[in-house]
Amino acid sequence: MSSNAATRTRRRALTARFLAEGLVVLAVLIWWLTAQQLPEAVFPSPVNVFAELGNLAVDPQFWNAAGVTALRVLTAVLAAVVIGTTLGLLPRYIPWTGGIVDDVLIPLFTSFPAVAWAIIGSVWFGVTSTSVVVVQTLIILPFCLVNVAEGAKELGHEEVEMGRSFGRRPVAIFWRIELPMISPFIVAGARIGYGVCWKVSLIAELFGARSGLGFQMQLAQDLGRVDTILAICLAIVLFVVAGDALVLRPLSRRLDAISGGGAASASAEGAAPTSAPQRQGLP
């Protein structure tokens, strides 16, 4: 019975993988057929775009621009995670701020147009890297804020009370109990923000930078190089996929395991005899 279930599971996984790969092949085929009907300068074929992607792969200027954009993306993601986590946890410790976070900040940041942030950033900070990072941070901030705010509402109080019963200080309770439990929500917001930030970096750099991949795309537009624009877009997709697969996804799985293990450990401690509480407490 278990063998049949495992076989069905493998078949479903293979079918899903086949459908996903087949969809990609179909999209490329439709792209190629459409390109045959339009001028190359307007809609280049996938062959030319992938050839241009290969040219970019050996172009030092492209990698310099990619490094500048990647540094801005990482800075913005870290800033959004720190700010979003701080604001999202406020109602847990200062209850009267709940109305401000839920009814003012979250609706404001989730509904404010991204292009408007780019325009305002260029006005406030000029054509500088600071403008780009600020714009990126403000655009991806709601993803981190909403995830942490909702995660904080789901945190139980039993583990916290257990830590207090063993005489742990509030700082120790936060670092050893609450932060590990909220960390999966933080990483989930960071994963979404990371992907979105690469996209909005192009908008921000078009409005407020003279370097980076967005600026490279602007130069390609001025030269009428649609193949270069599409190749840069494909490169960004590869950067996002690589960053998520190599760093963020493994980190998310590890934190899920840690948070689950920590909760189970806390439950075991709570069920243990109380004859020696000093040995049952958190380290």
pTM for this one?
0.78
Per-residue pLDDT tens, the chain, 283 aa: give them.
467 777 777 878 788 788 878 888 888 888 888 888 888 777 888 888 899 999 999 999 999 999 999 999 999 999 999 999 999 989 888 888 888 888 899 899 888 888 888 888 888 888 788 888 998 999 999 999 999 998 888 776 666 666 666 556 667 777 777 777 888 889 888 999 998 999 888 888 877 678 888 888 888 888 888 889 999 999 999 999 898 888 888 888 887 776 654 444 433 333 333 333 333 333 3
Q: How many domains does the chain have?
A: 2
Residue 27 lies in domain: 1-37
Same-domain check for residues 120 and 242: yes
Residues 4 and 88 in one domain: no
Structural domain contains residue 281: no
28 shares its domain with 86: no
The Cβ of residue 275 has, within 10 Å, a number of other Cβ atoms equal to 7
Same domain? 156 vs 116: yes
| Pair 138, 5 in one domain | no
Same domain, 255 and 168: yes
Burial (Cβ within 10 Å: 0-12, 13-18, ≥19) of residue 12: exposed
> Which H or E run includes 161?
helix 158-165
Is 124 a domain residue? yes
SS3 annotation, 37-97: CCCCCCCCCHHHHHHHHHHHHCCHHHHHHHHHHHHHHHHHHHHHHHHHHHHHHHHHHCHHH
The Cα–Cα gap between 57 and 49 comes to 12
Whole-angstrom distance, CA of residue 120 vs CA of residue 117: 5
Are 63 and 11 contained in the same domain? no
Q: Are residues 133 and 198 in the same domain?
A: yes
The answer to whether residue 279 is domain-embedded is no
